[in-house]
Structure formats: C-alpha cells, structure tokens
Amino acid sequence: MRPEARIGRLPELLDALSSADRELFDRLFRVSVSEGRLRAPESMRGWLEERFGNAERVERQTVVRVTNRWTLEEAVFNPLRARRPRPAAVEPLPADDDPLSKPLELTPEDTFGRIEGAYCVTAANVAKAEAWHGLIVFREPDPLAFTIESVLDCLETARRWWAAAHEEDAEAVYPLLFWNCGAAAGASLGHAHVQVALARSRPFGGVERIRVAAEEYRARHGADYFRDLVRAHAALGCASTLEGAAVLASLTPARGREVMIIAPSIEEGLGEALYAALACYRDRLALRAFNLALFGPPLVEGDEDWRRFPFVARLVERGASDVGAMELFAAAVVSHDPFELAEALAPAQGVGQ
C-alpha cells in the first residue's frame, strides 16, 4: 500500500516508486531527512499543547530537505512551523490618491504608446528596473477580482507589449512578467496591476540560471530537463495537466505553496492553467497576497542555447514578515506541505495526472 502523501513521508513515497521513476527523481533531486529534538520545561508544556496540539510533536520533529541538483534551488520543510506565533497581518494599502484609477491621465505611456486590452491598459513605469519596464493596469481595481477572461487578456496584452518594445529596440528580447499582489507581496499600490519587462543584451539572472541548468542536464543525460521535472513531480502525485500546460506543486519552493506552470508557449494552455492556480489560491486556500513571475525564451534567437525552453510561471504565497536571513542567504524554509497543495490544485483544475 502506498504511504500517505505527505512531505514528512517523502522517503517512503520514493521507495514506493517504480525503479524508472526513482532513477529519474534521483537524477533531479537530492533528499535528506533529519530529526530535530529538544526538551521543553514543564512550565511550557501547556503553551505547546495549546499551540501545537501536544508537546511530543515539538520535542521530536521531522525536517525534510529537498535540493534541485541542477539549479541548486532548495527547500527545507517542517509543517510544524506553520503553527508558530505570527505578527499581525500587514494592513491593506489605502485606496486614496490612486493614480492607476485614471491611467490615461495619471500615468506616463511608453514611447510606442499604450497597448489596450478589453480588461486592461499599459503604462510606462516611472521608476524602471530595466530600460523597457511597464505596467499592465487592470480596469477592475480589486486585485482579487480577476476572472479567466481578464487573466487571458492580461497575457495577450503582455505579448503585444513585448512585441512593441522589441520593434522599437531590437536588442530588447528577454521577456518577464511579474505580479506583486498585496502589501505583503511588496505592492506599492493597491490597484490591481502587473509589471512587464523586456531585458536587453542578456536574460535576467534567475532565468539564465535555469537555462544553463537545462542545457547542462541535456548535455549530461540527453534528455529534456523540463519534461523530466514534470515526470518526477507526477510520479509523486504533485503534477497534473490542464490544456497542455503542466501544473506542479513544487518540491523545491522558493516560498510556501509554490505552484510552477510549464507551457510550450504563452498561447498554449498557460492562461487557463495560470487562472486555475490563482483561483485555487483565492478560493480554496483563502490566500490574499502572492508573487507571480512569468518568463520564457527570447523573442529572437541569439547566441545562447534555448532549445525547447518553455514558458514558465512561478507563483508563491506571501505573508507578513515571511522572509528571514536563512531564506535570503541559505535555503527556503517552508511551513506548508507540497502534497497538500497538490490536493488543493487538482479539484481546481478538474484534471488528473
């Protein structure tokens, strides 16, 4: 009988895999399990039982560490950390003086003008992080009132914005879209908006690290890194498909409940899968703040090897003070179980493995 799918039982789940699936997993990931022990004074046991259910589960804790051998992304899982005392949630940003409420009047435009969709319109970013850095402003100000139509429209508007920026600047070829939703996710304005960028000369560092890893993986094993990444997650029940896009409950999340979406192109299933993941966050998991990043191959071929590089979206939850020194400088420390996330995602998609 297959063990219960929980991160603390990952070694048992791996032992239950077929030899081919286990070989594939071990080619991609490294897993280590340790037990943390402590002695609690009698005076503290009442508080521990109230907070954690019982003191024994605190005195002996299972910690699981998963490392991607190729990108060196790493997560340390201990679901017990979700029960720690937390500071009060960040207050929502005030709605007063919202320049995005009247984008045509109160925001600048790019030198090629504005791109308008049915649910959004673009603006130039006043404080740029790249030569080509803009905003996609939703007409609906509530960032959690997105629909599948508005998500699809946003992606199409981003594609048109990248094309317009590249037409004006031939050296700008590396696309990026990101969404900081909520004050806890770093949003400086409460009005719903997504940011788009098109890097010149070279890709952003985080994207380049993944491209290099995929290239080295193909050279070493003669196989596609992204396809095998999906297969390894699927073997453990942490991946499914929707409209041709793979949806993963990441085993090496950068933050809690990371969803990774891998699609052949921005037009092939990416929008539907992305909406399903966002709706799961909002409706099933009741999350109110998140970070989303979306990137893909350059608009034109260059010197680097981008063979079969897909469009990739990464979505993580955010909460008050959820980043500490270990996350910044060592490894992500994660409170939530990716197997529970996989269970939440599957009904939202309505699709099996």
- Return the SS3 of 208: helix
Angle at 160 between CA 155 and CA 163, to 5 degrees: 125
The reported pLDDT for the residue numbered 91 is 46
Which pLDDT tens digit goes with each residue over 265-291?
998 899 999 999 999 999 999 999 999
The reported pLDDT for the residue numbered 345 is 93
Alpha helices in the chain (DSSP H): 10-15, 19-28, 42-52, 56-59, 103-106, 148-168, 205-221, 225-235, 270-279, 325-329, 338-349
Residue with tokens 């073997």: 235
pLDDT class for 20, splitting at 50, 70, 90? Answer: very high
- CATH for the stretch 100-353: 3.30.428.10
Question: Is 60 exceeded by the pLDDT of residue 96?
Answer: no
DSSP 266-317: TTTTHHHHHHHHHHIIIIIS----EEEEEE-S-SS--SS--TT--EEEEEEE
- Return the SS3 of 41: coil
Q: How far apart are CA 118 and CA 138, in angstroms?
A: 9
Which pLDDT tens digit goes with each residue over 170-199?
999 999 999 999 888 888 889 999 999 999
pLDDT class for 88, splitting at 50, 70, 90? Answer: very low
The reported pLDDT for the residue numbered 28 is 97
Buried b vs exposed e over 46-76: b needs ≥16 C-beta within 10 Å?
A: eebeeeeeebeebeebbbbbbbbebbebbbb
Say how many C-beta atoms besides its own lie within 10 A of residue 149's C-beta: 13
* In contact, 14 and 22? CB cutoff 8 Å: yes
Of residues 91 and 331, more confidently modeled? 331
* pTM for the full predicted model: 0.89
The reported pLDDT for the residue numbered 352 is 37
Mean pLDDT score, 6-19: 94
The reported pLDDT for the residue numbered 326 is 59
98 bridge partner residues:
none
| Residue-range domain boundaries for the chain | 100-353
Mean pLDDT score, 108-120: 94
Which pLDDT tens digit goes with each residue over 202-231?
888 899 999 999 999 999 999 999 999 999
The conformation of residue 329, written as its DSSP 8-state character, comes to: H
The reported pLDDT for the residue numbered 351 is 39
